[in-house]
């Protein structure tokens, strides 16, 4: 943890040190250990998720680090199961603090699977860092991105004729 480019390890994984994490070589050993744990706490934040249904749309709210690991694999399995119930998924990434190439790949796979199932994946609440990664990889344009869950849900209903019939109320007038 002395200089950028070194690797920091803790019980949750290893992360590369960048400029803002560097500690001078003259720092006491206790400071090095403390800073190593701070870096891991920031960068190794576990991915958690919860979901709710809005009609035929499932909204999945993710928190933490959208990166390679057991949590991402569990989310992928969960999303695969969701596609058996509904093909329309809104992923709220507003509380995602980090995304790596595995996280990006997971979003692309989910998007493709949802499309093949006749649905779509909409993203909402993108933090600046996540949006920048998707922009730099030229993937931002393939996802429908929205500021809020409500906007993403509305876009699902606008784009899917089968879902529009769920919100249309037909009444018969009896005289």
Over residues 72-89, the mean pLDDT reads 90
Measure CA of the first residue to CA of the last residue in the chain; give whole Å: 80
Q: What is the mean pLDDT of the chain?
A: 77
Query: Which of 29-33, 78-82, 88-92 has the weakest average pLDDT?
Result: 29-33
What three-state secondary structure class fits 161?
helix
pLDDT tens, residue by residue, 52-64: 999 999 999 999 9
pLDDT tens, residue by residue, 11-49: 444 444 444 555 555 666 556 555 555 555 555 578 889
**When comparing pLDDT for 30 and 76, which is higher?**
76
Q: What's the pTM value of the predicted model, to 2 decimals? A: 0.69
What whole-number percentage of the chain has pLDDT above 70?
A: 66
Residue 80 CA, chain-centre distance (Å), reads 15
pLDDT for position 4: 43
d(Cα 110, Cα 124) in Å, to the nearest integer? 15
**Residue 46 DSSP code:** P
d(Cα 140, Cα 153) in Å, to the nearest integer? 18
d(Cα 57, Cα 67) in Å, to the nearest integer? 25
Residue 66 — very low, low, confident or very high, per pLDDT cuts 50/70/90? confident
Residue 94 — very low, low, confident or very high, per pLDDT cuts 50/70/90? very high
């Amino acid at each position: 943890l002395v200089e950028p480019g070194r690797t920091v390890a803790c019980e949750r994984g290893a992360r590369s040190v960048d400029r803002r994490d560097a500690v001078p070589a003259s720092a006491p050993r206790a400071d090095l250990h403390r800073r190593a744990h701070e870096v891991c706490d920031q960068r190794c934040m576990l991915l958690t998720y919860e979901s709710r249904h809005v009609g035929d749309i499932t909204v999945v709210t993710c928190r933490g680090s959208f990166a390679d690991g057991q949590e991402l694999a569990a989310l992928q399995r969960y999303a695969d199961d969701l596609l058996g119930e509904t093909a329309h998924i809104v992923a709220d990434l507003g509380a995602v603090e980090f995304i790596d190439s595995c996280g990006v790949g997971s979003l692309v796979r989910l998007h493709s699977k949802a499309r093949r199932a006749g649905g779509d994946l909409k993203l909402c609440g993108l933090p600046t860092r996540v949006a920048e990664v998707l922009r730099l990889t030229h993937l931002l344009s393939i996802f429908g991105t929205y500021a809020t869950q409500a906007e993403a849900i509305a876009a699902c209903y606008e784009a899917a004729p089968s879902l529009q019939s769920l919100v249309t109320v037909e009444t018969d007038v009896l005289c």
